Amino acid sequence: MEKLKSLLHEYPKSTNIFMGYGTAGFRARADILPWIMIRIGILATLRSKVKRACVGVMITASHNPECDNGVKLIDPHGEMLDQTWEVYANTLCTLDDDINIIWDYVETLMIQLNIQPNDEAIIGIAYDIRQSSPLLASIVKRAAQALSTTIMDFELMTTPQLHYAIRCYNDDDLNGKYTEADYFDKLCTAFQNLIFMTSSNKSFESLAIDAANGIGAIKLTHVRRILANFIRIDIYNDGTKGLLNDKCGADYVKIYQKAPDGLPLKNYSKCCSIDGDADRLIYFFIDENNQFRILDGDRFSVLFALFLSLKLQEAKLFDDVKIGVVQTAYANGRSTDYIINTMKVSVACVPTGVKHLHHKALDYDIGIYFEANGHGTVLFSDDLKSKVKAASEDPKRTEKERLAANQIRTFINLINETVGDAIADILATEVILFLLNLNLEKWLNFYDDLPQRQLKVAVKDRTMIQTIDAERRCIAPAHLQDRIDELVSKYPSGRAFVRPSSTEDIVRVYAEAITQIEADKLAIEIQKVVEELIN
């Protein structure tokens, strides 16, 4: 109690205004975060006690600028914090800096959640390369230690590494331990084995990676070294010169549809950008007409689903396996059409936010999910894992069937199933392109995107908008949806929706149409309706 009391005194609550615990946890300017870290240390301790397992605390603001930071909790299987606990996180942060008030709330929660004072707690803490990160991590650590919690200090890590590390500690199948060397060995060995299984004498073209001047640059050097005999990886924006996420990184490339600074695009046929904490990935290249072309999250869904359904067919397992793609309303309509009608793979649409995609993907034996912004992964059910193992070892099957099953089995090891992992996704993408004999141009030509436009609208109260049907329709305020329907009906192949952002104080408008001019026009018309009905 005394230690916690002095910590509250040392880092007093600096503001009553803060964004709630959302998809990305808490995010704000780094200088107003210290007091929040005390409460996170407490919350993580309680979560660990309830789950009787290790939980994670990741300090990062992902693609946001260096001056920002953030924090989020990771649950024992490496997944995002359970949604009911987001409420406790918010309540803890609304409490005053009074040790008695805070302690009363902690005791109430302990009774409610049946936590005994002597229950053990263990937390793994990691952070990205922001200057503010070590201090924020030390505050979480001190708050948790004040409650006798054991700390594993992982220091610098990518977000997906910490998710995976937490899963390892809680899973006996994964030896209950994590080392960075084991992690990159696992990914790189799977990559090499998939190449060895292929009787091709092709070689890889060099890959240029824009690492957003973030933590990914440091971690990618391991992969570059291990795979040096297979693929040449050149890392740009590695933090030696530029600023974190400044005119570079996956978010910049996707939003501005522009090449990142600091990468000699013309020297490469394949380039990609990751974001500041290495959980998003976007590929890009210059096409024959000298146009800058990007391959976003929708394209990864298509590529991964294509590869996995093809291998399931070759292994004669396709009819026994439920494979599906999970998207949000921001997925380009043409990608959805292509997956359903050409690839004959089912598609589910869920609200924005990785936790929703991840949750839905668990419904499938092979659940592939990506947000259009490049965050995503693949989940494989235990049943699917047993099936492919059995098929790969079944002497009654043909060699081709066994090989395909073995390829799926190996591919599973190339994936970080806990969360989108840009480094794992790069290796998976490279291997699929290699095995299917594709380059970026051919991959892009699977289908043409419908032109689209996204707008941000500043409103007085964005919570006035309520949505249903995976955020594709509004039920409040009155008449908004009717007005949107009326506008959309004037555009052939038009599609549009509005929703309040969960990370910014704005309403997002999305519109799609046959031409860019029409998509822009539709978006602006809807923006006006939003302004009229909300402000």
Ligand X SMILES: CC(=O)N[C@H]1[C@@H](OP(=O)(O)O)O[C@H](CO)[C@@H](O)[C@@H]1O
The span from the CA of 75 to the CA of 72, in Å, is 10
Residue 275 site contact among ligand X, Mg ion, none (CB < 5 to 8 Å, cut-off depends on kind): Mg ion
User: CA 177, 278, 38: angle at the middle one, nearest 5?
Assistant: 70
**Using the 8-state DSSP alphabet, how is residue 25 labeled?**
B
Residue 210 site contact among ligand X, Mg ion, none (CB < 5 to 8 Å, cut-off depends on kind): none
Query: How many C-alpha atoms does 57 have within 13 Å on its Cβ side?
Result: 36
CB of residue 62 vs ligand X: minimum separation in angstroms?
Answer: 6
Residue 373 site contact among Mg ion, ligand X, none (CB < 5 to 8 Å, cut-off depends on kind): ligand X
Number of neighbours of residue 112 by Cβ within 10 angstroms: 9
Q: How many helices (H) and strands (E) does the chain have?
A: 18, 19
Could you say whether residue 251 binds Mg ion (CB under 5 A)? no
Residue 277 site contact among ligand X, Mg ion, none (CB < 5 to 8 Å, cut-off depends on kind): Mg ion
By C-beta, is 274 or 526 nearer to Mg ion? 274
Q: Residue 96, annotated ligand binder?
A: no
Q: Residue 451, annotated ligand binder?
A: no
Q: Residue 471, annotated ligand binder?
A: no
Q: Residue 425, annotated ligand binder?
A: no
Pattern 334-373, binding to ligand X, x per CB under 6 A? ------------------xxx----------------x-x
Q: Residue 229, annotated ligand binder?
A: no
Question: Could you tell me the two tokens for 115?
Answer: 């936590």
Query: How many C-alpha atoms does 474 have within 13 Å on its Cβ side?
Result: 28
CB of residue 476 vs ligand X: minimum separation in angstroms?
Answer: 18
Query: Out of 62, 132, 273, 335, which one is annotated catalytic?
Result: 62
Could you say whether residue 501 binds ligand X (CB under 6 A)? yes
Q: Residue 392, annotated ligand binder?
A: no
CB of residue 357 vs ligand X: minimum separation in angstroms?
Answer: 9
Task: Mention every residue, 6+ apart, whose C-beta is less than 8 A from residue 15.
Answer: 32
Is residue 131 classed exposed, middle or buried when 0-12, 13-18 and 19+ CB atoms within 10 A define those classes?
exposed
Contact status, residue 294 vs residue 283, Cβ threshold 8 Å: yes
User: Catalytic site residue 62?
Assistant: yes
Helix (H) or strand (E) holding 126: strand 122-127
Could you say whether residue 508 binds ligand X (CB under 6 A)? yes
The residue within the footprint of Mg ion, chosen from 66, 68, 277, 525 (CB under 5 A), is 277
**Of 44-73, which residues contact Mg ion (CB under 5 A)?**
62
Residue 279 site contact among Mg ion, ligand X, none (CB < 5 to 8 Å, cut-off depends on kind): Mg ion
Distances, alpha carbon 447 to alpha carbons 201, 267, 303, 341, in Å: 29, 26, 12, 12
Contact status, residue 158 vs residue 279, Cβ threshold 8 Å: yes
Could you say whether residue 466 binds ligand X (CB under 6 A)? no
By C-beta, is 321 or 480 nearer to ligand X? 480
Binding residues (CB under 6 A) for ligand X: these are: 23-24, 330, 352-354, 371, 373, 501-504, 508
